[in-house]
Amino acid sequence: MLSLSNVSSHYGDLQALRDVTLEVDSNQIVSIVGSNGAGKTTLINTISGVLPSSGGTITFQGKRVEKEPPHRIVNDGLVQVPEGRLLFPYMTVLENLELGAYGERARNELSRSLEAVFGYFPKLEDRRKQLAGTLSGGEQQMLAIGRGLMAKPQLLMLDEPSLGLSPLIVKEVFETIKKIREEGITILLIEQNVLQSLMISDRGYVLENGSVVLEGAGTDLLTDPRVKEAYLGI
Amino acid sequence: MFEIILQLIINGLLLGGIYALLSIGLTMIFGVLEVVNFAHGEFLMISMYMTFWLFHLFGLDPYVSLVIIIPVFFGFGMLVERAIIKPLLNDPPLNQIFTTIGLGLVFQNLALLLFKADFRAIKTSYSNANLFLGELIVNVPRLIAFVIAIALIVALLLFLKKTFTGKAIRALAQQRQASMLMGINVNKTYSIAFGIGIACVGAAGAILMPLFFVFPTVGSMFVLIAFVVVILGGYNSLGGSLVAGLMIGVIEGFSGFFISPHLKEVVYFIMFIFILIFRPTGLFGRR
Amino acid sequence: MTSFLSSIFDFVDQNKRVVTLAALIGILIIPLIPRNSFYQDLIIMIFFWGTLAAAWNLLGGFAGQISLGHAAFFGIGAYTSTILYLNFGLSPWIGMFAGAGVSIVVALIVGLPCFRLTSHFFALATIAFAEVLRLLASFWRDLTNGGVGLLIPHEPGFKNFIFEGKLAYTYIILIMLLAIIFVTYLLKKSRFGYYMVALREDQDAAESLGVNITLYKMITLIISVFFTSIAGTFYAQYYAFIDPDIVFASHLSIQLALLSIIGGVGTIFGPILGACFLTPLDVFLRGWLGGVLSGLNFVVYGLVLIIAVRYFPIGIFGWLKKITGKYIKKPTYALSTAGGGETGPIGERSYRPPDEDTVPLIRVDSIGKRFGGLEAVKDLSFSVYDGEILGLIGPNGAGKTTVFNLISGFIATDTGSIRFDGKDITSLKLPHTFCKEGIGRTFQIVKPFQSMTVLENIMVGVFNRVGDVKEARKEALRIIERIHLSRQVSMEASHLTLANRKRLELGRALATRPKLLLLDEVMAGLNPKETEDIIQVIKSISREGMTILMIEHVMKAVMALSDRITVINNGMKIVEGLPEEVAKDKRVIDAYLGEEYNAELK
């Protein structure tokens, strides 16, 4: 569904991504893990069109998207739930969700999507009139994911959804991600929490200094000592 | 004494409505695009001239000409945004400041060239009409201006609250990165926001014309008031601009009466500097 | 042709003193040239606007504080000397300095608090301020004769600052112009000048290198206001008439800025070039167009401003410099080793692990920081001992950068205390004071002063302890050799590779002669070879006795360099100890890889 081929990107003359090649097939959960500064967020922002790429191709559902503006990529069905949530703090839960369905395609199905999201996250329905900035960390993450779902994604990319959350909530988040995949949505997961993410993934890629250094089936990577090495330098 | 105070309050509020409308445009532009439009006053001046000529050449009543002016200024704003403002959005502040100042200079002096420095005014049949509430005098053009201003502001606030485009504008002002990820066309939304801001100025000019004179530098007078209102209300709060506009109108009236008509501006400029130094977020601003 | 130009520049370069003297004599002769009153007036106007523009440029171009209300000080100068003269017969020469004094006092009272406003708001404040003065001057008739203005009767005499003919005025304004150019030149060539560029480019980086931003802005403000004010007095004496709408006019303020922008903001000669270019243009435009098309000149200015700001930001001077750049020889420096990368063999360090009696260089006790609802750092205590390398690690969002900012003065701790080198520094407010105490730091996202060369960047650091430019340059060159940037010594920082920028950042912090060096994710984004290189540089710095606290994510580096490691997560310390122990500690593995990772692996 999504394939990157030799994608590079630069910040000025700093090379942030080097020849990244990866594939996400339909209905898979694919994880990209790596320590800080490895380039995970740069990668996801390049896919979303927020950052320009300086080389390589990005193909989504057969269409070349590396030169498209961000709003069109979203409309094509490639949606990102950004790192740190980035909610609209002074708007209500409901407004945040409605904005998720801004794109034309999504807007037509707004009420149905809303129902579905409240199905995943009943707590959000209780708090729909609350300002997003006043929610707890876990609730904010739920809202961010919900907002992403409102855009009717074919592929949902989540950037560090476990960041800053307590272990119990993290478990909930990963359960939700599995549920979303069961509904037919493909998932690309960027995470520092190697264990939880690789456990639910079909495939994983390890990113270090902007390059893919390791790839394989989720379960295989879990037992690969090189993953631990990449993190702990031993 | 009491009647005088009440009269001052009424006059102040009525004028304040126009100030609010003028300032709300500035707040929108600053809140969404983070650009200070130093040429804001010149847009007002252009609108006043346009109202003047529509009246003199076609006999169009200023309040009726709103129907033309609002869309024209919306388009005008979008055009200016595309052509001049957009390239500046990531430039250092020096560039932004001087580009809009340059724009203001050009407008101001084109007006001087075309229309000369003469003061011009409109006289309608109701220019001097007054309503009487007991001892209190309510000037009709002021009242109409106030009503229209408030109506437009309320309409704008509703637009921002209820429509998708309005929400997109609010979202963009709060969280730019996330807005891009929502499928919001950021460039288009910037243009629309700027256009709306200029449309507000245009409307303010049209309703102001019956009450005042127009001359090439009239914009400079009012733009400073607008800045004071924006800062007082909170530079990213539209509701704040409304409240602050009314407040400044009243403060101006009181200073003019109790201190001196020549010094009323001094009062709110000094307020302005104080607010910038001690409470830059104003009354209702965030962050 | 090109060799001809080259030889001219070479000649100038080698005979600087003679050429300057000749130029000076030439300039002093200029006022004698015109025979015609019209041209004499033109020359005066060029010098006049040049002086005002140069004064504005000092604050706006060099310090980066854009004022749109400089007319305020022009007017204060004009009115003070005139009022004192008309009412008390005080010689305007003295009145001039009195006016400058008033302007300076006013500028400090209003301007200083406004410095922390962002550019747009600062500009607005200055506009409002000038307006207030204009209105006050119009209104306060007893003092200023209001809108009618003040007329100075024509009573020639040196003491009265009134002269027959224009020659004397021409020389007076020329002397003012030369004075401000000279002052600007002196400042630019001194430590002040380097600090100004640094301040303008990146305030945080400058603060971290010990630059007292507020002080330098204040000095710049005072000088700028001084010259603007005395020019106001000159104006009053030359035209013999002032009124509020002339001397406090907002378009005067804008014109000053315009001249500097066109000529070249932030350069010594830019403002005069701008004046030379625009003043005659203005006069001729107004002459040709007369009263018929009045206003056209400003339309032109407005358009010029819009275009210049966007497409010619370097101004006339910058453009001239660009063209002639190839003919001007770059300075060369005597450096021992060329190249970056190789290091000699690493000797043994004299570092000894601390025992219970050792007093740490820095001791942090129960510090904490809350941002709104988030407690970024909670009750954190740790110490760093003399000569050691302490690694501070933890997952993303653990609070490491907040800790750094707390120790380097960029944010203040809510709780607890920080003791450094025997002194309690908890209550120090500004980052530059931390640098003065001996804490140097680098930034996660490197902040080189882009328009300065490697050498100049390092010099800014050296200036923390050394005041003299020549001495500073020598020391900077030594540091450049140590960090192996010799080949890039004259290269602009913006052209450096990332690895070299990191070296530069390291070297610059080192140049401040810190006792404690804070390294913020220095390895981030480097490839393995570059990482190895920087590790060697850090090792060599440590070998010379430097105490280092480093935040790092690249585990290989942390393990290779650290004597001890402190691990934090969620703002709190979870483990502390020797690298090998920490790497095997279950709590650390949990924090990084997620709970039960090890268990799952088995």
Q: Say if residue B198's pLDDT is above 70.
A: yes
What are the structure tokens assigned to C599, written together? 């268990």
Q: Quick count: other Cβ atoms within 10 Å of Cβ C374?
A: 12
Test mutation, C443, C597, C598, C602, chain A, max A CBs within 10 A: C597
Q: What angle do CA C188, C191, C197 make, to 5 degrees?
A: 60
Question: How far apart are alpha carbons C563 and C578 in whole angstroms?
Answer: 7
- Check CB contact under 8 Å for C592 and A232: yes
Count of pairs with CB atoms under 8 A, one residue in A, one in C: 67
Lowest-pLDDT choice from A13-27, B47-61, C95-109 = A13-27
More confident residue, B197 or C570: B197
- Check CB contact under 8 Å for C299 and B228: no
Q: Are C258 and C301 in contact (CB under 8 A)?
A: yes
Q: Does C66 touch chain B (CB under 8 A)?
A: yes
Closest to C310 (Cα-Cα) out of B42, B100, B33, B37: B100
Q: What pLDDT was estimated at residue C351?
A: 66
Of all residues in chain A, the one with the smallest CA distance to C397 is A164
- Check CB contact under 8 Å for C597 and A192: no
C594: chain A residues, CB-CB within 8 Å? 193-196
Question: How far apart are alpha carbons B184 and A93 in whole angstroms?
Answer: 18
Q: Nearest CA of chain B to the CA of A53: how many Å?
A: 17
Q: Say if residue A97's pLDDT is above 90.
A: yes
Of all residues in chain A, the one with the smallest CA distance to C560 is A233
In order of their start, the domains of chain C are: 1-33 (no CATH), 34-327 (1.10.3470), 362-601 (3.40.50.300)
Question: How far apart are alpha carbons C252 and C77 in whole angstroms?
Answer: 14
Question: How far apart are alpha carbons C517 and C512 in whole angstroms?
Answer: 10
Q: Please tell me whether residue C317 adopts helix, strand or coil conformation.
A: helix
Closest to C55 (Cα-Cα) out of C252, C256, C214: C256
- Check CB contact under 8 Å for B98 and C305: yes
- Check CB contact under 8 Å for C396 and A196: no
Given A49, A71, A88, which is nearest B178 (Cβ)?
A88
Q: Say if residue A139's pLDDT is above 50.
A: yes
Task: Give residue C339's pLDDT band: very low, low, confident or very high (50, 70, 90).
Answer: very low
Task: Give residue B66's pLDDT band: very low, low, confident or very high (50, 70, 90).
Answer: very high
Question: How far apart are alpha carbons A48 and B114 in whole angstroms?
Answer: 50
Of all residues in chain C, the one with the smallest CA distance to A84 is C397
- Note the Cα C66 to chain centre separation in Å: 13
Lowest-pLDDT choice from A2-6, A121-125, B167-171, C15-19 = C15-19
Question: How far apart are alpha carbons C599 and C414 in whole angstroms?
Answer: 39
Q: Does A91 touch chain B (CB under 8 A)?
A: yes
- Check CB contact under 8 Å for C295 and B112: yes
Given B170, B184, B286, which is nearest A102 (Cβ)?
B184
Q: What pLDDT was estimated at residue C341?
A: 42
Q: Nearest CA of chain A to the CA of C110: how many Å?
A: 34
Task: Give residue C338's pLDDT band: very low, low, confident or very high (50, 70, 90).
Answer: very low
A102: chain B residues, CB-CB within 8 Å? 164, 168, 182-184
Q: Does A131 touch chain C (CB under 8 A)?
A: no
Average pLDDT over residues B197-216: 93
Average pLDDT over residues C319-346: 64
pLDDT tens profile C548-576: 999 987 777 888 899 999 998 888 888 89
Q: Does C498 touch chain A (CB under 8 A)?
A: yes
Interface of A with B in 206-225 (CB under 8 A): none
Q: Does B182 touch chain A (CB under 8 A)?
A: yes
- Check CB contact under 8 Å for A103 and B177: no
Lowest-pLDDT choice from A176-190, B126-140, C145-159, C347-361 = C347-361
Of all residues in chain A, the one with the smallest CA distance to C531 is A209
Q: What pLDDT was estimated at residue C336?
A: 60
- Check CB contact under 8 Å for B174 and A100: no
Residue given tokens 């049209």 in the structure block: B206
Task: Give residue A103's pLDDT band: very low, low, confident or very high (50, 70, 90).
Answer: confident
More confident residue, C496 or C95: C95
Average pLDDT over residues B149-172: 93
Q: Is the dihedral of CA C584, C589, C593, C597 positive or negative?
A: positive
Q: What pLDDT was estimated at residue C215?
A: 93
- Note the Cα C24 to chain centre separation in Å: 29
A173, HSE (Cβ side, Cα atoms, 13 Å): 28
What are the structure tokens assigned to C437, written together? 């105490």
Of all residues in chain C, the one with the smallest CA distance to B221 is C131
Interface of C with B in 297-326 (CB under 8 A): 297-299, 301-306, 309-310, 313
Of all residues in chain A, the one with the smallest CA distance to B174 is A88
- Check CB contact under 8 Å for C597 and A195: yes
What's the whole-number average pLDDT of chain B? 90
Of all residues in chain B, the one with the smallest CA distance to A99 is B182
Question: How far apart are alpha carbons C294 and C305 in whole angstroms?
Answer: 18
pLDDT tens profile A34-82: 776 678 888 999 999 998 888 899 999 989 998 899 999 999 999 999 9
pLDDT tens profile C24-78: 888 888 888 887 888 889 999 999 999 999 999 999 989 889 999 999 999 999 9
Q: Quick count: other Cβ atoms within 10 Å of Cβ C422?
A: 7
Q: Are B234 and B278 in contact (CB under 8 A)?
A: no
Closest to B172 (Cα-Cα) out of A145, A102, A136, A130: A102
CA dist B252 → B4, B138, B225, B273 (Å): 14, 17, 10, 16
What's the whole-number average pLDDT of chain A? 87
The residues, ordered by sequence, that sit 6+ positions from A126 with a Cβ below 8 Å of its Cβ are none
Q: Say if residue B216's pLDDT is above 80.
A: yes
- Check CB contact under 8 Å for A50 and B180: yes
The residues, ordered by sequence, that sit 6+ positions from A36 with a Cβ below 8 Å of its Cβ are A192, C396, C521, C524, C553
Q: Please tell me whether residue C126 adopts helix, strand or coil conformation.
A: helix
Q: What percent of chain C has pLDDT over 90?
A: 42
A106: chain B residues, CB-CB within 8 Å? 183
Of all residues in chain C, the one with the smallest CA distance to A196 is C594
Q: Does C556 touch chain A (CB under 8 A)?
A: yes
Given A49, A89, A100, which is nearest B182 (Cβ)?
A100
CATH superfamily of A1-77+154-166+185-234: P-loop containing nucleotide triphosphate hydrolases (3.40.50.300)
Task: Give residue C340's pLDDT band: very low, low, confident or very high (50, 70, 90).
Answer: very low
The residues, ordered by sequence, that sit 6+ positions from B199 with a Cβ below 8 Å of its Cβ are B25, B70, B71, B73, B74, B77
pLDDT tens profile B83-102: 988 888 888 888 888 999 99
Q: Say if residue A222's pLDDT is above 90.
A: no
Q: What percent of chain C has pLDDT over 70?
A: 93
Average pLDDT over residues B244-249: 93
Residue extents of the structural domains in chain A? 1-77+154-166+185-234, 85-152
Question: How far apart are alpha carbons B217 and B39 in whole angstroms?
Answer: 11
Closest to C268 (Cα-Cα) out of C321, C222, C329, C215: C321
Q: Which residues is A189 bridged to in the sheet? A: A31, A158
Q: What pLDDT was estimated at residue B75?
A: 96
B168: chain A residues, CB-CB within 8 Å? 99, 102
Of all residues in chain B, the one with the smallest CA distance to C305 is B102
Residue extents of the structural domains in chain B? 21-218
Of all residues in chain B, the one with the smallest CA distance to C66 is B94
- Check CB contact under 8 Å for B183 and A106: yes
Q: What pLDDT was estimated at residue C601?
A: 45
Q: Nearest CA of chain B to the CA of A50: how many Å?
A: 7
Q: What pLDDT was estimated at residue C290?
A: 59
Q: Does C121 touch chain B (CB under 8 A)?
A: yes
Q: What pLDDT was estimated at residue A74?
A: 92
What are the structure tokens assigned to B107, written together? 């407008």
* Burial profile C190-213: b = 16 or more Cβ within 10 angstroms, e = fewer: ebebbbbbbbbbbbebbbbbbbbb
Torsional class of C332: left (φ above 0), alpha (ψ -120 to 50), beta (otherwise): beta
Average pLDDT over residues C390-412: 86
Which chains have at least 3 CB atom pairs separated by less than 8 Å from chain B?
A, C
- Note the Cα C253 to chain centre separation in Å: 22
Task: Give residue C420's pLDDT band: very low, low, confident or very high (50, 70, 90).
Answer: very high
Average pLDDT over residues C272-279: 91
Q: Nearest CA of chain C to the CA of B66: how many Å?
A: 28
H-run or E-run covering B178: helix B176-181
Which chains have at least 3 CB atom pairs separated by less than 8 Å from chain C?
A, B
Count of pairs with CB atoms under 8 A, one residue in B, one in C: 133
Q: Is the dihedral of CA B18, B19, B20, B25 positive or negative?
A: positive
- Check CB contact under 8 Å for C521 and A37: yes
- With a threshold of 0.90, does the pTM exceed it? no
- Note the Cα C138 to chain centre separation in Å: 37
Average pLDDT over residues C396-420: 87
Task: Give residue C206's pLDDT band: very low, low, confident or very high (50, 70, 90).
Answer: very high
Q: What pLDDT was estimated at residue C602?
A: 41
Test mutation, A36, A40, A219, chain C, max C CBs within 10 A: A36
B31: chain C residues, CB-CB within 8 Å? none
Return the beta strands (E) in chain A as ranges: 2-11, 14-24, 29-33, 55-60, 63-64, 78-81, 155-159, 186-191, 203-208, 211-217
Q: Say if residue A224's pLDDT is above 70.
A: yes
What's the whole-number average pLDDT of chain C? 86
